[in-house]
Amino acid sequence: MKLKRQPRVVLTLATLIAIVLLGNAAAAQTYRVIHDFGQGCPSAWRPVGLPAVAKNGDLYGVTSGGGGCNGSAIYKLTAPRSRDGAWTETVLYEYNGNAEYPSSLVIGEDGALYGTGAGPNIRGFIFRLTPPNSGDGPWTYQTLYTFQSSSDGIAPQGNLIFDAKGNLYGAAGIGGDLGCGYDGGCGTVFELKRPGEEGRKWRFSVLHTFTGTPDGAQPYAGLTFDHDGNLYGTASAGGSFGDGAVYRLTRPKTKGRDWTETVLQSFDRQDNGGYSPGGPVVFDSSGNLYGPTYGGGDPTCQGGFGCGVAFELSPPAKKGGAWTYAALHAFQGGSDGISPSGCVVFDGRGNLYGTTQTGGEASGGTVYRLAPPARKGGAWTETVLHAFGSDGDGAVPASGLTWGKWNYLYGVTGEGGSACQGLGCGTAFELRP
């Protein structure tokens, strides 16, 4: 009887081993590099900013190098039909030499691509790239606005956003008030109004000029609208303590009047809070704001500078009251990650996802998830979903994350990958949470 039963026991053990191996293989496939930048000429390389996701799942973005292997480029990554299929890169536009560096990209309702950039001899520019009417013809590039003087702002880098009429809003990291106490100026928030007829000029206006203290300086990240059309953003410096701020620009009730700025939070590293917010803010369904800071938090991390925090700002119960600040997670360095930055996103369960620029098991940065507490007032729980810096998977995912096809998370790394030499030319990746 024992001899007859033994093969059945061996088969059962083999089956169990196979199940475990298959389970581990499936877990390892949650992260995937979908494109290695820098694969020959004229491939784009060194992606910057967060890719824009089209309705069909294709990704569009910009790079600081590549194109004709001389300058920057605007690229498209065509999504495969199947989940594990190959993505295909197409360079849509090549900048001439090293004079212009795009930094962000969004997709308009008209299907055109809109973005910002600057250069060694260019204070800043806003562009549009329009697809061909039919077929595979060339895309049409147009500069919508070139920043004229320091008062306009200099170095727009963060994401642009549209209002319901198709007007564009953004922030310039420096420029504006050159006497504000920060070299190069404290930055501006601007509007670029769409013309009533195609072919006419877009109209540029400055909505707010930062003054450093107490309203903030260097708003390098992009903007966010609320339901009432008010703008929210972060300044990486300035504020009451010089460590950055979260601000709101309230839309005027009467057309032609000025927007009104309100500082919702001034960061203070001396109080173990975060400092230098490194991305735009995002709302949850209850109207709370969330975002990351590059430094601050745990004073024992990074020699006293802190490794950064993910924060929450809750609106006041009564109109005119103060917003309430809370640090959801103070990063610890090491495998936990260092310097969170870029865009954070929510899933349907209220989990918050983001990236850190460095740290992790291989020191190339991380993708993290923060799960909300089961009970109000409890601690959020962090899980590192992926650590960058090994096996050609990329490094320095500074732009954060966005949701895309199949409800996967997508992003880019500015360095790493298997192409190029030295630091690598960067990657585009997907992650199934």
pLDDT at residue 270 in the model: 86
42 preceded by a cis bond (ω within 30 of 0) = yes
Residue 237: strand pairing partners: 217
pLDDT at residue 16 in the model: 36
pLDDT at residue 135 in the model: 75
CA-nearest of 166, 170, 171 to 194 is: 166
Please list the ranges in the chain whose pLDDT falls under 50. 1-29
Contact 323, 302 (CB under 8 A): no
Q: In what order do the strands lie in the sheet with 59-65?
A: 45-53, 59-65, 73-78, 88-94
Alpha-carbon gap, residue 229 to 219, rounded angstroms = 19
Q: For the beta carbon of residue 201, count every other beta carbon within 10 angstroms.
A: 9
pLDDT at residue 13 in the model: 39
Contact 230, 248 (CB under 8 A): yes
DSSP 83-114: TTSPPEEEEEEE-STTS-EEEEEEE-TTS-EE
- Express each pLDDT in 110-149 by its tens digit: 999 999 999 888 899 999 999 998 878 899 999 999 999 8
DSSP 274-329: EEEE-S--EE-TTS-EEEEEEEES-TTSGGGT---EEEEEEPPSSTT---EEEEEE
- Express each pLDDT in 23-82 by its tens digit: 333 344 499 999 999 877 667 889 999 999 999 999 999 998 766 566 799 999 999 999
CA-nearest of 37, 7, 25, 18 to 412 is: 37
Q: In what order do the strands lie in the sheet with 366-371?
A: 338-346, 352-358, 366-371, 381-387
For residue 425, what are its two tokens?
């030319």
pLDDT at residue 14 in the model: 41
pLDDT at residue 21 in the model: 36
Q: Which residues contact 151 (CB under 8 A, 6 or more apart)?
A: 175, 176, 188, 206, 209
pLDDT at residue 209 in the model: 98
For residue 342, what are its two tokens?
């870029």
The residue behind tokens 């500015």 is: 414
